[in-house]
Chains A and B, each alone.
Chain A
């Protein structure tokens, strides 16, 4: 009985392959539009679309088919429509150039939108001047890979997010390039997903905006020159590995803004030339290992509302201020970091400094309380204040110190 069943299954699968066809779409074929191609296609067919400009209004893919563009055929949205709506499971959509989606303050028009589906694959598309780029709502197990999203809006209201994911699960966002959108990648209520090897730069607001999304990982991404850096908020179990955060400049701009994050890991990231490398507020149980903070205004701004944060084996080099804080309560651990401003000695030559290093300078506390005091930065009086504070700490938190600072920078 069992063997017969397997045999039947095999036959079924073979016959299935036998029926699936390839439908050609293009000016020289019967199907001149992608829409008619989809009507003529059966489930699991492949649609090959030849190069050209297609005015499809709102193209709805409602069958589980593979749609492939040859040499990036253009799907034009005429600034009025949602270019592609995917309303079937297991759709693969690749190799298109998608332009000029509608812009609306009521409807979230997107270049490509996945409506409550699973196993959708979107690869190798180029999206230009779309309101939202790729929009995933209630979708599961989807792959968004190697797409290029470019927008040129200047105002937040006129621009949507590059890759917008809402209430989704198990997504893979890999190797996309996003620029000029409102938020490069937007995650809200997305779980068990990975964001890997994306480049998000020059977006109006955040390079990555991440809220209420638990158990996600983002690794090896580059976030550069975004209006407000990267924000990761109200989430648990987030893993942030080997990302680059570069040149996010502005008073409210951070390499990463962490707010209400718990049980997370920040490892091997690289923060360079940001106004603040990491800003932490209400963060608990986060481990930060092997990160590199170079030439930031503030390497780390850690509010007194944070607890059980472990900072170990990080490099702090050339930052104007290594650590800034706003209170005297310290419930975090600083251990074995390299600080280039450390002036201690190492008598027993174990490469660990013998006296503790206090990364919070008196002047950074003064500036925190009274920002215009920045004018006096590096003046004799502030240097004297810092010196005397080092001898007798009064304003800076007594407990905020690295008891075992490293003498040499780590190779990261």
Chain B
């Protein structure tokens, strides 16, 4: 298994696109922090980057990669290897490469400019979101044989998580405005890893505003160590569930 991971990791890292991604992140992070007059604003731009660009790149690159290596996968399957090992190796290779790219590109300058609690939380969220969207991409890729369809599905998932879901939440909030929704919102936020990541970072960034009533409910839950552990576990679940589901599908798939 380690051999396969090593091979995939090297293959991806040799791929110019991941290198380009890392350089792009590095350039943006560097510019954002040196251009903005306050690091607060810099962090804000970084938050947008982590919440939109990172999942997008993660999901599209992974889907394309899985489709492009379909022949390689077929070759591996013909060898005396367990299917789950092959699939997990691809996942570890992809997740490792993209996290590494994020860490080298965005993480290092962020640690250099803003080694605060907010910066560290943002870094952690970036890494988690990279990995989560690799898992989601693999689910999309295993779903259908058609490459175009698969990529379309992956992009749709990205749009859903970064835009449609929040729109739905807003719609629900106004439909049920007469009910106390503060506590329910905590549950709903767990249904979207991007929202969860954003709230965890905001709890460190916009402390004053979040001290209002609703914010206080969030703060009470997410701000404590227990809440942090729960929300990080939910993020891990967001990696594990799509991955396991895709694994189940892959095991039975007619290649």
Report the bound CA distance from A380 to B195 in whole Å. Answer: 10
Cβ distance B187 to chain A, nearest Cβ, rounded Å:
11
Tally of contact residues, B, Cβ under 8 A: 39
Chain B residue numbers with a CB within 8 Å of A274 are: 208
Tell whether, in the assembled complex, residue A251 and residue B40 are in contact, meaning their CB atoms are under 8 Å apart: no
Q: Is the CB of B206 within 8 A of A373?
A: no
The yes or no answer to A264 lying at the interface (CB within 8 A) is no
Q: Are A381 and B167 in contact (CB under 8 A)?
A: yes
A355 at the interface (CB under 8 A from B): no
Q: Scan B171-200; emit 1 where CB is below 8 A from any A CB, else 0.
A: 001100100011001001100001100110
| Chain A residues within 8 Å of B40, by CB | 295, 318
Complex CA distance for A316 and B28, rounded to whole angstroms: 27
The answer on a CB contact under 8 Å between B210 and A374 is yes
B208 touching A297 by the CB < 8 A rule? yes
A376 and B173 alpha carbons, distance in the complex (Å): 10
Partner of A378, one of B38, B162, B198, B208: B198
Q: Decide if B212 touches A379 in the complex (CB within 8 Å).
A: no
B223 at the interface (CB under 8 A from A): no
Interface string of A245-257 (1 = CB under 8 A from B): 0000111010000
A396 to chain B, nearest CB (A): 17
B72-80, B89-97, B213-221 - interface stretch: B213-221
Specify which of A366, A371, A375 is in contact with B212 (CB 8 Å cutoff).
A371
Residues of chain B contacted by A251 (CB below 8 angstroms): 211-213, 216
Q: A318-B38, A378-B44, A380-B166 are in contact. Are A297 and B209 (CB under 8 A)?
A: yes
Asked if A375 meets B47 with Cβ closer than 8 Å, knowing A251-B213, A297-B212, the reply is no
Judge if A370 is at the interface, Cβ distance under 8 Å: yes
In-complex Cβ contact of A273 among B167, B177, B202, B207 (8 A): B207
Q: Is B38 a contact partner of A320 (Cβ separation < 8 A)?
A: no
B195 and A375 contacting across the interface, CB-CB below 8 Å: yes
Main secondary structure of the interface of B (DSSP, over half): helix
Most chain B beta-carbon contacts within 10 A, residue among A251, A296, A366, A373: A373
Instruction: State the total of A-B contacts with C-beta under 8 angstroms.
Output: 98
Give chain A residues whose Cβ lies under 8 Å from the Cβ of B44.
378
Q: Which residue of B lies closest to A373 (CB)?
A: B173
B166 x A379 contact (CB < 8 A):
yes
- Looking at A253, A296, A321, A375, the one whose CB has the most chain B CB atoms below 10 A away is A375
* A residues near B198, Cβ cutoff 8 Å: 378-379
Known pairs A250-B216, A318-B38, A375-B199; A380 contacts B163 (CB<8 A): yes
B237 at the interface (CB under 8 A from A): no
CA distance A350 to B194 in the complex (A): 43
Q: Which residues of A contact B182 (CB under 8 A)?
A: 371-372
Q: Does A298 contact B (CB under 8 A)?
A: yes
A contact residues vs B (CB 8 Å cutoff): 249-251, 253, 273-275, 295-298, 317-318, 320-321, 340, 366, 369-383
> A251-B216, A373-B173, A376-B169 known; 4 other A-B pairs, CB under 8 Å?
A275-B212, A371-B182, A375-B188, A375-B195
Residues on B close to A: CB < 8 A? 38, 40-41, 44, 47-48, 51-52, 162-163, 166-167, 169-170, 173-174, 177, 181-182, 185, 188-189, 194-195, 198-199, 202, 206-216, 218
Q: Provide 26 A-B residue pairs closer than 8 Å at the C-beta atoms, listed in order of the A residue.
A: A249-B211, A253-B211, A275-B208, A275-B211, A295-B208, A296-B209, A297-B211, A318-B38, A320-B208, A371-B182, A371-B214, A372-B173, A372-B182, A374-B212, A374-B214, A375-B195, A376-B195, A377-B206, A378-B44, A378-B202, A378-B206, A379-B194, A379-B198, A380-B51, A380-B162, A381-B170
